[in-house]
Homo-oligomer: A and B are copies of this chain.
Amino acid sequence: SQKYRITLLPGDGIGPEIMAVTVDVLKAVGQQLDITFEFQQAKIGGAAIDDTGDPLPPSTLEICRNSDAVLLAAIGGWKWDNLPSQQRPERGLLGLRAGLGLFANLRPAKILPQLIDASTLKKEVVEGVDIMVVRELTGGIYFGQPKGIFPTETGEKRGVNTMAYTESEIDRIGRVAFETAQKRSGKLCSVDKANVLEVSQLWRDRITQLAPEYPDVELSHLYVDNAAMQLVRAPKQFDTIVTGNLFGDILSDAAAMLTGSIGMLPSASLGAIGPGVFEPVHGSAPDIAGQDKANPLAQVLSAAMMLRYGLDQPLAADRIEQAVLQVLDKGYRTGDIMSEGMQLLGCRAMGDVLLTE
């Protein structure tokens, strides 16, 4: 029997509720497939600020490091919105990414046939959309130096951030993207702003230089403004997209919203070695926290991504993903994805029907 140590970071808002459901699902699938999960829990984000003043206490990072994978729920809320930026919940997330070296962020945006009406786009435009955004996550303008607010010679302030990538940073995310495209339909689109930015020129050069090593992948390039347009105009043209940290932040959210149901979307953040972090794309939804109304499915699907990409247990991942499709097929819905004729369930009840699959 395979045994894994999983760190749970429920975080804030609806985090604890959706995490509880997910743990039950993992236990059930573990029993079926003879996998043992040993769970350990730690605080991050607002919950950690309340406890220790630090959105990422050193002990949390340590616990994460000593595990095979990290399952994160959601971070942040109104309560902490007025803290100085260095002490806000999101900093815990950025610190976790940096601390674990999670340079590759995989964000699928897949239209589920059961939920296609939730999209604001016309059915024929989004039917079959299945995009994987591979976002660089530990470089670019999120971490580049110098950064800060500095006085100018004339006495006014100047805010500065630096978008920077080295060749090796580009190469390693490029390789993840090519390999991801290989496992999918073999189409990779690299997004940059090479007509304006030098950092993007280097990006484009390096990605282009990697291409001959992956002859089965068809590589194309788009400028980021055009990519944003094309996602709205004809999203089916995309399979795998690779891009930097900031462009990936924007485009993965735009792509996610094409589905109309971001309460369904998981993500994976992976490093070269050590545990990955798996978390839903949606936020902590403080408005419905503690009311048993949250949709746990993105969190459950994040656990499936953990099994697939973090623990190499594709069978268990398949089983969870199948169960999610089944409950949707049977018409079960949480409030965020509710539509006429379907059966409305709370968070916990959605977990229960999942367990019967």
Contacts and interface: CB of A to CB of B under 8 A. Distances in A.
Interface of A: 85, 88, 90, 94, 120-122, 125, 141-142, 144, 147-149, 152, 156-168, 193-203, 224-226, 228-229, 231-234, 246-247, 249-254, 256-258, 260, 262
Contacts of A157: 166-167, 202
Contacts of A226: 253
Contacts of A122: 120-122
Contacts of A250: 224-225, 228, 247, 250
A233 B260 CA distance: 7
Nearest to A252: B225
A117 to B, nearest CB: 10
Contact of A158 (B158, B160, B164, B228): B164
Contact of A201 (B85, B144, B156, B168): B85
B165 A201 contact: no
A10 B50 CA distance: 61
Nearest to A232: B257
Contact of A160 (B149, B160, B162): B162
B158 A166 contact: yes
A148 B198 contact: yes
30 contacts: A88-B195, A120-B125, A121-B121, A121-B122, A141-B141, A141-B197, A142-B196, A147-B199, A148-B198, A156-B167, A156-B168, A157-B167, A158-B165, A159-B166, A159-B200, A160-B199, A161-B197, A161-B198, A161-B199, A161-B200, A163-B163, A193-B249, A224-B250, A226-B253, A228-B253, A228-B257, A229-B253, A229-B257, A233-B257, A254-B254
Given A90-B195, A120-B125, A229 B201 contact: no
Contacts of A142: 196
A329 to B, nearest CB: 24
B201 A159 contact: yes
Nearest to A249: B225
Contacts of A203: 159
A94 B161 contact: no
